[in-house]
Chains A and B, each alone.
Chain A
Amino acid sequence: MKSIVSFVFALAAMVVFFLLLDVVLFNAQGLSLIFKG
């Protein structure tokens, strides 16, 4: 049970981490995460 809770928590943390990574790296290349047209 403890492992499942840890896994869910870690999953949420890593989703945020990769989302931030994508936003920062797209932004650094002059693009936004949300594709426009």
Chain B
Amino acid sequence: MRLFSVVNREIPIAKRRSLTALFLLFFLFALPVVKSADFFPAGIDTVYASEDAAKPATPAGEGEVKAAQPEEKKKEYPPAPQLKESDYPQVKYINGRIMTWMVAQLHLWFAAFVLAVPIFVFIIEAIGMATKDKRYDKLAYEFIKVSLTAYSITAVFGGLLLFTLVVFYPDFMKYMANIFSPTFLAYALIFFAESACLYIYYYGWHAMETGFSKWAHLTVGWMLNVVGTMLMFFANAWVTFMMSPHGVDANGVFEGNLWAAIHNHLWNPINLHRVIANVAYGGSVVGAYAAYKFLSARTQEDRAHYDWMGYTANFIAIAALLPLPFAGYWLIAEIYAYSQQMGITAMGGVFAWLFITQAVLIGALFLSANYYLWCGMERSKGAVKYTKYIKYIAFVIVTCFLVWFTPHTLILTPGELKALGGPYHKYLGPLGIMPAKNTAVNIMLLFTFLSFMLYQRCNKIPTVSWASRGNAFQIAIFVTAIINIGILGIYYGYFTNTVYKVASSVLQVASTLSVIILCTVINIFMYKGAKEVAPLQWGKMPDRSQYALFLLAVSFTWLMGLMGYIRSALRQHWHVYTVFRDSSPDAYTPTIGYAANVVTVATILFMAFVIFIFWLSTLSGKKETAHH
């Protein structure tokens, strides 16, 4: 109810502003919705157009009309072209594939960032409204300020990507436009709506600060997220159509149903994975910004502010990072379900070693996030009672990390093979397969959550009478969950058949999520009305802790680039998997080292742009300070 108490002040001015804002929003949102009727011309009636054609003949007259429809569609949409090497334009001194790859990657990083930041800015602004704490509002404003410059760069790279694709892959773009042109137009319109929402949201922040206009402002934030997510879903549809084409026949002839092409097999797994990953990524980049500002802060007040900002950003990154492996697991399971060959190429074939690199990078992410939390305990005087446990948590996390990146197959010389007594190591070999890794990942997640729990409670003294029983219950939850995860991983992973091995991983995930949910619920009730040991000393952080935040951002960026390469390269020599062959001179799978170099150069470029953005925001900060 406190939320509503801010309403109905300064009605005359606020009302005018709000009505204008609401009208504008309605217009912006209604336009794509109304137009969507035109964007799906085939509609649901034609979903099974090809199946209708396969049915036995119906009474004359009616049947003739129905049978004529698929014929017309086939005339309207051509098959996928069969290209030759000479059909791909060449530009002197420029490799089309590398350029498209790098531009697409840079666009994706910035897009992920600018889509994620509004999600948590909206949440932080809502928290600020609910608690009436101005600090949240200030923080949310600072977050959105960082993403504003990034937004322009995202658009620039988006445009560059389009030109690159048109220049180097004109026939491919023509084929995609034949199927997806209505979504291209929708994308442009929604992009316009997103820009409008973002500018109203940012520039209207101070003008819509009180009364009902604050609610209107929050609504603009909501709209910004809706249109941003819609944009991403459209782009995901194009990308996943290339991996798991739907709504086309074996020759690539479009059957006329746009929704079928959009709603292909991998669309939703990618949608979920990208939304969660974007939030984790956005949190990590903003965390790097906070670290940059913390290290360059001149006053204690600034250090305290940016320390708090860094903590919040790290919290967002970890909160999204915890469920991320599960979304990734679903995506790869769906890739296997769609095409076993594609799944094996990813996990057991040429890209398997990139997954080892992934394990190293994610391990680094977990270690740095935990390290930051442990350093953060220095802010509280009550943390002493927990510091003795940190070494045990570190030991468990490092052990799990080692299990995670133990490879299954090694590239060995005949001499090494002989010395080893076979292709697999006697003791470490069993750690190379998925049951060991699933077990390690789940335990790593549980101990990261434990670090977070210890951090949260180190400055609090519970006042409820059942606190010791609550603690006992939480310990029991952890103990039983770890035993359950261990049994599922060892017994069902090694001593049963593959069906059990795959099925038990779902149970492991459920166990981890149960711990997180149950312990959070107990904590909420147990620490209700808790006393503080002493006020938290924001800013009392060692400088080295801030480098953990930088590491988080760099690891995330590199990881996304490498994993994104796997996702895209799974199509191998196809533009659209099994339907439209890639005949360009670059239609081969490069070595892992080569791919990693390309991604690394792109990562360095991205980081250079990010530093430029941070520097720009420092300039505007100086201007604001001078103005005040």
Residues on A lying within 8 angstroms of B by beta carbon are 2-4, 6-7, 10-11, 13-15, 17-18, 21-22, 25-26, 29, 31, 35, 37
B320 proximal to A (CB < 8 A) = no
B443 proximal to A (CB < 8 A) = no
A4 and B476 alpha carbons, distance in the complex (Å): 11
Q: Are B500 and A35 in contact (CB under 8 A)?
A: yes
CB-CB under 8 A from B511, the residues of chain A are 18, 21
A12 and B237 alpha carbons, distance in the complex (Å): 48
Q: Are A29 and B484 in contact (CB under 8 A)?
A: no
Chain B 365-385 interface residues, beta-carbon cutoff 8 Å to A: none
Q: Are B495 and A3 in contact (CB under 8 A)?
A: no
A13 and B492 alpha carbons, distance in the complex (Å): 23
B250 proximal to A (CB < 8 A) = no
Given A25-B507, A26-B503, A35-B500, A14:B468 Cβ within 8 A: no
Q: Are B510 and A21 in contact (CB under 8 A)?
A: yes
CB-CB under 8 A from A3, the residues of chain B are 468-469, 471-472
CB-CB under 8 A from A25, the residues of chain B are 503, 506-507, 510
Set B472, B481, B500, B514: member contacting A31, Cβ < 8 A: B500
Q: Are B475 and A7 in contact (CB under 8 A)?
A: yes
Q: Are A29 and B492 in contact (CB under 8 A)?
A: no
Q: Are A6 and B473 in contact (CB under 8 A)?
A: yes
B499 proximal to A (CB < 8 A) = yes
A6 CB to nearest B CB, Å: 4
Beyond A25-B503, A35-B500, list 15 extra A-B contacts (CB 8 Å). A3-B468, A7-B473, A7-B475, A10-B472, A10-B475, A10-B477, A11-B480, A13-B476, A18-B480, A18-B481, A21-B484, A22-B488, A26-B503, A29-B503, A35-B496
A34 and B500 alpha carbons, distance in the complex (Å): 10
B604 proximal to A (CB < 8 A) = no
Chain B 439-496 interface residues, beta-carbon cutoff 8 Å to A: 468-469, 471-473, 475-477, 479-481, 484, 488, 491-492, 495-496
12 A/B residue pairs, CB under 8 Å, sorted by A: A2-B469, A3-B472, A6-B468, A6-B472, A13-B476, A14-B479, A15-B480, A18-B480, A18-B484, A21-B484, A21-B507, A35-B500
Q: Are A21 and B469 in contact (CB under 8 A)?
A: no
Q: Are A21 and B473 in contact (CB under 8 A)?
A: no
Main SS at interface, chain B? helix
A18 and B469 alpha carbons, distance in the complex (Å): 20
Set A11, A18, A31: member contacting B499, Cβ < 8 A: A31
Q: Total contacts A to B, CB within 8 angstroms?
A: 63
Set B476, B488, B495: member contacting A11, Cβ < 8 A: B476
> What 4 pairs between A and B have smallest CB-CB spacing?
A10-B476, A14-B480, A7-B472, A6-B469
B480 CB to nearest A CB, Å: 4
A3 and B373 alpha carbons, distance in the complex (Å): 28
B221 CB to nearest A CB, Å: 38
A37 and B496 alpha carbons, distance in the complex (Å): 8
CB-CB under 8 A from A7, the residues of chain B are 472-473, 475-476
A10 and B488 alpha carbons, distance in the complex (Å): 21
CB-CB under 8 A from B473, the residues of chain A are 6-7, 10
Q: Are A2 and B468 in contact (CB under 8 A)?
A: yes
Closest partner residue, chain A, to B511 (CB atom): A18
CB-CB under 8 A from A4, the residues of chain B are 472
CB-CB under 8 A from B514, the residues of chain A are 17-18, 21
B336 CB to nearest A CB, Å: 15
A8 and B506 alpha carbons, distance in the complex (Å): 27
B363 CB to nearest A CB, Å: 27
CB-CB under 8 A from B506, the residues of chain A are 25, 29
Q: Are B484 and A22 in contact (CB under 8 A)?
A: yes
A25 CB to nearest B CB, Å: 5
A22 and B505 alpha carbons, distance in the complex (Å): 11
A37 and B510 alpha carbons, distance in the complex (Å): 25
A32 and B481 alpha carbons, distance in the complex (Å): 20
Closest partner residue, chain A, to B496 (CB atom): A35
Chain B 251-265 interface residues, beta-carbon cutoff 8 Å to A: none
Set A13, A15, A31: member contacting B503, Cβ < 8 A: A31
Which interface residue of B472, B492, B500 has the most chain A CB atoms within 10 A?
A: B472
A13 CB to nearest B CB, Å: 7
CB-CB under 8 A from A31, the residues of chain B are 499-500, 503
Closest partner residue, chain B, to A23 (CB atom): B507
CB-CB under 8 A from B510, the residues of chain A are 21, 25
A35 CB to nearest B CB, Å: 4
B408 CB to nearest A CB, Å: 23
A18 and B484 alpha carbons, distance in the complex (Å): 7
B602 CB to nearest A CB, Å: 40
CB-CB under 8 A from A21, the residues of chain B are 484, 507, 510-511, 514
CB-CB under 8 A from A13, the residues of chain B are 476
A2 CB to nearest B CB, Å: 7
A10 and B519 alpha carbons, distance in the complex (Å): 13
CB-CB under 8 A from B472, the residues of chain A are 3-4, 6-7, 10
B191 CB to nearest A CB, Å: 41
A10 and B492 alpha carbons, distance in the complex (Å): 26
CB-CB under 8 A from A35, the residues of chain B are 491-492, 495-496, 500
CB-CB under 8 A from B481, the residues of chain A are 14, 18
A11 and B480 alpha carbons, distance in the complex (Å): 7
B217 CB to nearest A CB, Å: 43
Closest partner residue, chain A, to B479 (CB atom): A11
Which interface residue of A13, A15, A18, A22 has the most chain B CB atoms within 10 A?
A: A18
B500 CB to nearest A CB, Å: 6
A3 CB to nearest B CB, Å: 5
B69 CB to nearest A CB, Å: 40
A4 and B503 alpha carbons, distance in the complex (Å): 35
A37 and B472 alpha carbons, distance in the complex (Å): 39
B398 CB to nearest A CB, Å: 26
A3 and B488 alpha carbons, distance in the complex (Å): 29
A12 and B542 alpha carbons, distance in the complex (Å): 43
